[in-house]
Amino acid sequence: MSTNYGYLYNIAGWGDPYFTVDSSGNVSVKIHGVETKPEQEIDLLAAVKKATEKNLQFPLILRFPDVLKHRLDSLNTAFANAIKYTGYTSHYQGVFPVKVNQNKHVVDDLVGFGKVYNFGLEAGSKPELLLAMNSLINGSPKAYLVCNGYKDMDYVSLALVARSINFNTIIVLELEEEVDTVVRASRELGVRPILGIRARLLTTNPGHFGSTSGKHGKFGLLEAQIYAVAEKLKQLGMLDCLKLLHFHIGSQIPTTSIISSAVREATGYYCHLVKMGAPMGTLDIGGGLGIDYDGTRSGSSDMSVAYGLEEYASAVVQAAKLVCNQNGVAHPVLCSESGRALVSHHSILIYDALVAVEEPSDSVTSDELISRLDELVGNPTTLHANIKSAVQSEDGNNNASLAHADQLNKHGIEIFKLSRRLAKQLEAAGDSTYAYHANLSVFSLTPDFWGIKQLFPILPIHRLNEEPKQKGTLIDLTCDSDGKIDKFIGGAQTLPLHALEQNGGGYYIGTFLAGAYQEALGSKHNLFGGPNLVRVESAGGFGGFRVVVVGAGPTAADQLKVMHHDPDEMMQAIAKRAEAAGHWTPTEQKIVKSVFYTMPYLFGEA
Ligand X SMILES: *Cc1c(COP(=O)(O)O)cnc(C)c1O
Bridge partners of 63? 347, 535
CB–CB of 282/90 below 8 Å? no
DSSP code string of 145-168: EEE-S---HHHHHHHHHHHHTT-E
Q: Could you tell me which of 40, 8, 6 has the C-alpha nearest to residue 24? A: 6
User: In whole angstroms, how close is the CB of 326 to ligand X at the nearest point?
Assistant: 27
With respect to ligand X, which residue has the nearer C-beta, 288 or 332? 288
Query: Smallest gap, in angstroms, from Cβ of residue 126 to ligand X?
Result: 15
Question: ∠ CA(272), CA(256), CA(349), 5° rounding?
Answer: 120
- CA dist., res. 178 & res. 54, Å (int): 51
Nearer of residues 2 and 257 to ligand X, judged by Cβ: 257
Q: How far is the CB of 95 from ligand X (least distance, A)?
A: 9
User: Strand 27-29 to strand 470-475: parallel, antiparallel, or no bridges (unpaired)?
Assistant: unpaired
Q: Kindly tell me which of 346 and 498 has the beta carbon lying closer to ligand X.
A: 346
Give the active site residue among 147, 324, 335, 479.
479
Nearest 5 degrees, angle CA 74-CA 76-CA 77? 60
φ and ψ of 143, to 5 deg: -55, 135
Which CB atom, from 196 or from 529, has the smaller least distance to ligand X? 196
Tell me how far apart the alpha carbons of residues 534 and 524 are, in angstroms, rounded to a whole number: 19
- d(C-alpha 597, C-alpha 65), whole Å: 31
Smallest gap, in angstroms, from Cβ of residue 288 to ligand X? 5
CB of 142 to ligand X, least distance (A): 20
Contact 421, 429 (CB under 8 A): no
29 or 289: CB nearest ligand X: 289
Which residues would be at the binding site for ligand X (CB under 6 A)?
97, 99-100, 122, 124, 148, 248, 251, 286-289, 337-341, 516
| Nearer of residues 195 and 464 to ligand X, judged by Cβ | 195
Nearer to ligand X, 110 or 516 (CB): 516
Report the nearest approach of ligand X to the CB of residue 19 (Å).
21
Q: What is the number of other CB atoms lying within 10 angstroms of the CB of residue 268?
A: 15
Cα(457)–Cα(481) distance, integer angstroms: 21
Q: Which is nearer to ligand X, 286 or 332 (CB)?
A: 286
Q: How far is the CB of 310 from ligand X (least distance, A)?
A: 17
Report, in Å, the least distance between residue 219 CB and ligand X. 8
Q: CA–CA distance from 569 to each of 29, 575, 597 (Å)?
A: 47, 10, 13
What's the one-letter identity of residue 259? I
> Closest separation between CB of residue 487 and ligand X, Å?
22
Query: Is the C-alpha dihedral spanning 550, 555, 559, 561 positive or negative?
Result: negative
DSSP state, residue 198: E
Beta strands in 432-502 (DSSP E): 433-438, 458-460, 470-475, 484-485, 495-497
Whose CB is nearest to ligand X? 287
Report phi then psi at 492, rounded to 5.
Answer: -70, 155
Which DSSP state fits 600? Answer: B
Integer Cα distance of 22 and 29 in angstroms: 10
CB-wise, 341 or 534, nearer to ligand X? 341
In sequence order, what are the residues at sequence separation of 6 or more whose Cβ sits closer than 8 angstroms to the Cβ of residue 487? Answer: 453, 455, 493
- Can you name the residues that pair with 536 across neighbouring β-strands? 547
**28/101 with CB nearer ligand X:** 101
In angstroms, rounded to a whole number, what is the distance separating the alpha carbons of residues 139 and 143?
7
Report the alpha-carbon distance of residue 452 to residue 267 in Å, rounded: 32
Residue 565's Cβ-side half-sphere holds a number of Cα atoms within 13 Å equal to 14
Smallest gap from Cβ 34 to ligand X, in A, equals 23
- Catalytic, 147? Answer no
69 Cβ contact list (under 8 Å, min separation 6) = 109, 113
Residues carrying an active site annotation = 479
